[in-house]
Amino acid sequence: MAEMGDNSEGDKQVFLSIDETPIYFREDWNTGIGGGLWSTGLAIAKYFEHHYSDVSDNLNRLAEMKRKRGENDGISAIELGSGNGFLSACLLALAQTTSLSLKNVVVTDMEDHLILMEKTIRTNPHVWDELIVTKEGSSSTYHGSPSNRKERPASSVTVAEYKWGVDDFNQKYDFIFGSDLAYRDYLHDPLISSLLQLSHQHTICLIGVTMSDTRPVFFDKLTEAGFLYQRLADHYLEGHFRGGTFGIFVIMRR
């Protein structure tokens, strides 16, 4: 089945733009905890908005490393604990407006968030070529209407359920990202298990945390599992996120 993404103007509000590429999103907390943006979700979105060239350059260096190994298929990315798909829409817009060779993005969360994630992605058909939504044992395929303002490879998006530490996609990803993922101690082990399962030696992980919720034990466990981490400097954060308890961390295998 092939059809256009959701273009109904009544549902569309520009939430932010990345180099003139708009991202449409409407918060609806009545749908549950995934209906809006948590603190570090907004912080990462603003980081993508104001530092899109840095993000693109870093990921393109990884793409160049892959090309030297004979892998010419671009960057693969997965968002963990997405909730509503907004950060994935931001990444797709970032690729749309830069030279980032983004092959595919997999948007994941628990099953009860699939409708929210699909809605957000389908409301932004100008930043993707193909969308596959997998739920209840079946899948639906939609075609987007990406801008031709810049030459770029086709971007595909998959919306799917993924349980940390349980499900196995049998694939490694070049970029893993997500926000507010480790805010409870019981989430640490399954999250780190998924990072190990989904990453290869050169994978870049970008994780946002609120340090008042995420205890130091999470970072101790990351180190024990063989990861290195570094907090982005405050000047990469939007003003009101600086000097407080918000942090965006880059995580890589040692």
Model confidence at 245, pLDDT cuts 50, 70, 90, reads confident
pLDDT, tens digit, 9 for 90 and up, residues 159-207: 999 999 999 999 999 999 999 999 999 999 999 999 999 999 999 999 9
* Structural domains of the chain, ranges and CATH numbers in brackets: 9-253 (3.40.50.150)
Nearest one of 218, 146, 206 to 173, comparing CA atoms = 206
Whole-prediction pTM value?
0.92
pLDDT, tens digit, 9 for 90 and up, residues 112-138: 999 999 999 999 999 999 999 998 788
Nearest one of 38, 78, 58, 51 to 233, comparing CA atoms = 51
pLDDT, tens digit, 9 for 90 and up, residues 24-38: 998 777 777 778 788
Q: Going by DSSP bridges, is the β-strand pair 21-24/14-18 parallel, antiparallel, or unpaired?
A: antiparallel
What was the pLDDT predicted at 73?
80
Dihedral of the CA atoms 238, 14, 151, 153 (nearest 10)? 80
One-character DSSP codes across 5-44: ----GGG--EEEEETTEEEE----GGG-GGGS--HHHHHH
Average pLDDT over all residues of the chain: 89
